[in-house]
Amino acid sequence: MEKIIMVTGATAGFGRAIAVLFAKNGYRVIVTGRRKEKLMDLEKEIAETGAEVMSLNFDVRDLNSVKSAIESLPPGWKNIDILVNNAGLAVGLSHIDDGDTDDWDRMIDTNVKGLLYVTRTVAPLMVARGGGHIFNISSIAGKEVYENGNVYCASKHAVDALSKAMRIDLLKHGIKVTNIAPGMAE
């Protein structure tokens, strides 16, 4: 049976590129995102490669939506071998003393809590099967801070720390955890 990869934030950027690449390499692909129209376009593009694809339209910031979407997967799609926690964003970059707290909430809710919600819902499926691989997409900003990047950098530092902790917690279940920290890219 072909391996299944699930990619969050798959409607653009790294997530889209990852989903398409794995589809072209014979994986069954679950793509997720908030923007239904872009998700449908991606599903169509992946289907044209001959790969099996399923899309789940939800916002990683909403725990109930995450649970509902993943629980809705047909049994043959629940055997997720690879989870790519890619959903993330940087908004409202400004000095800490004049930052917009709504922007802070949005970044923390997406970059940290969203990763946690998806992992908490998918990891038990991997534990039950005795294996899997989780890739967390962080950022070089999680290693080094820069001016106006205060909350974004902090959220990506959290992804780095969570990746290390997840690696320790899940290793005994045969689950690998990898943190990828790219720099800015198109």
Are 109 and 150 a contacting pair, CB within 8 Å?
no
Quick check: is 117 catalytic?
no
What are phi and psi for residue 22, nearest 5 degrees?
A: -65, -35
Residue 134's SS3 state is strand
What pairs with residue 85 in β-bridges? 136
Are 153 and 161 a contacting pair, CB within 8 Å?
no
Q: Which two tokens stand for residue 83?
A: 């989870």
Residues 6+ apart with CB under 8 A from 47: 53
Residue 83's SS3 state is strand
Q: How far is Cα 54 from Cα 171, in angstroms, rounded to an integer?
A: 28
Residue ranges with strand state E in 25-152: 28-33, 53-57, 82-85, 132-137
Query: Active-site positions?
Result: 152
